[in-house]
Amino acid sequence: MTDIVKILEGNRLLLKLSKKVYEKEAILAAAYKFTNHCAILIEPIEDTCVGVYFELKENQAIDELKMIAFDFCNEVLDQQVRLDIEKRYGNIKEVIVKHAFSPLKNIKEAIRF
């Protein structure tokens, strides 16, 4: 992971993510969850990569920033899997929700005491 995570000057860290693996929505959702831990900047750095820059807040050590970046890796993976599952099975979810909130013809038969 050393070529994916780089420590930069000024207590900043760069994490490179592949655009082929991670969608913009997954990266932004993961970044939002970490905004209370550090400052985060996201920008394209190559045709195939996105750069996620982490910057320390006051009273933080660079080792703490590394741990935040590693936790971010797990979170962005989680967000991407969530998106992939939604694409694959989203129609099933819609059917279940539609059925769950559809009106009952005879509520007394549906509720048995």
What is the domain-level CATH number for residue 32? Answer: 3.30.1360
Joined tokens for residue 32: 């939002």
How many domains does the chain fold into?
A: 1
39-97: pLDDT as tens digits? 999 999 989 999 999 998 877 788 899 999 999 999 999 999 999 998 988 788 777 87
Q: Compute the distance between CA of residue 39 and CA of residue 57 in angstroms, rounded to an integer.
A: 7
Q: Give the pTM.
A: 0.77
Domain hosting residue 94, numbered range:
5-110
